[in-house]
Amino acid sequence: MKDRRLLFHVHGRKFYLAPPRRPGGPYYIRFEPPSNCGKRVHVVHRSLRTGVIAAAKARAKLIIEPILNGQWEIAEKLKSRSGYARIGELLERYKAAAGDRPNTVRNNSSALRLIIRTVHGGDPDSQSSSVLTAELIRQFERIRMVAAKTESERHRTRASIRSYVVQARSAVAPRKMRFYEELNLPELDCFRNERVEMPKRTKPRALNTGVIGAINAAAPKLAASDPAVYVAFLLFSRLGLRNVEIKNARWDWIENGRIGIIERPEEDFYPKGSEGWVPIAPDVLKEVMRFRHLSTDGFIVPGRTATERKDAVDRRHSVWVGQWIKDRSKTSYELRRYAGSLVYNATRDILKVRDFLRHASVETTQRWYAYLLDDVPSIGMNDFVPALHVQ
């Protein structure tokens, strides 16, 4: 039950102060503005920088009232920008809290520093976190695109821009904000949500059936020479899993003939796209189980360490499949897409494909399987029910 002492009113609406996260710490406000407040911000979460209830309520009212009136500029000016944490402080906290994934932490931190250095120059760590805005993303994109002259250069540059932005945003993703509970940070929704122009992609197209046949014919030899890559191959081609899912997949994720690609905070695993349970055919499960004795620490893909599993899934499998798939940018992913096409051919239901691949939006599924959707079947004389009897 909420503490009545923390209750206050603005324009007749009830609000509560969020209590300090540590003894003697500041109170907070956390609320979701109505959709008519003139800005796409899902949640306002701001430190009031005081541990005194009366003073915290007064500051909260000064912030909330202009937001409810759609006057975001006034609310922004009330912030103490000099009180925001530095980028260096934020990244140190990120490194300390997510130290179990040093490569990811290093790459994400480097990407954030690169973006800030490109736009503002100097030492990124000394910059206030108030620089993390939509304008930072826009300026970074403009600066990087200046040197791209040819179409191929523009395509590569846009791809690299998107990669850097995705990595940088990962450091301040909503689920990671628990790392920074004691830091004073600005609202970051605009930084997280600013759109970046995507590189133009060629229209998706089906893999040649001869290529698929050659890959399947070579699979038994792969099982004998490199079991880890073979297991990864089965998870790509029969279950349609992503790289990150295959590297993290554990035997206890499998229940009742399905594997759960769901949020698992205790294992630091958060699905890309949507959560879901992927069905496993009995013969596929039996084949994967043949190699269970090689796995360690409960992971499905054999490997003594996370580095070994990553090498098997990301590098060695891509090299092996690349012997046959030579004209695609992500060779391993082509097997995931092929698995999705099998689901569509069996069901003729694009929504079932979306659920199988766990896309966040059916539009993504439609884009990747447009070549199948264009294939409209003909209707024969006896395809109606009841059948039409022709004399």
Residue 158 CA, distance from chain mean position: 19
How far apart are alpha carbons 352 and 341 in whole angstroms? 11
Cβ atoms 46, 33 nearer than 8 A: no
Looking at the DSSP bridge assignments, the partners of residue 255 are 258
How far apart are alpha carbons 175 and 370 in whole angstroms? 33
Q: Where are the domains of the chain?
A: 4-79, 87-193, 209-373
One-letter identity of residue 71: Q
pLDDT tens per residue, range 155-202: 788 889 999 999 999 999 888 888 887 787 887 888 998 988 876 655
Q: Which helix (H) or strand (E) holds 281?
A: none
CA distances (Å), 113 to each of 96, 190, 222, in order? 17, 18, 42
Stated pTM of the model: 0.55
Helices 227-237, 331-347: axis angle to 10 degrees equals 40
Cβ atoms 261, 277 nearer than 8 A: yes
Class of domain 209-373 as given by CATH: mainly alpha
Cβ neighbours, 10 Å, residue 285: 17
Q: Provide, for the chain, the percentages of residues in helix, strand and coil under a 3-state DSSP scheme, each rounded to the nearest 5.
A: 55, 10, 35
Cβ atoms 37, 68 nearer than 8 A: yes
pLDDT tens per residue, range 291-304: 999 998 999 999 99
Residue 352 confidence class, pLDDT cut points 50, 70, 90: very high
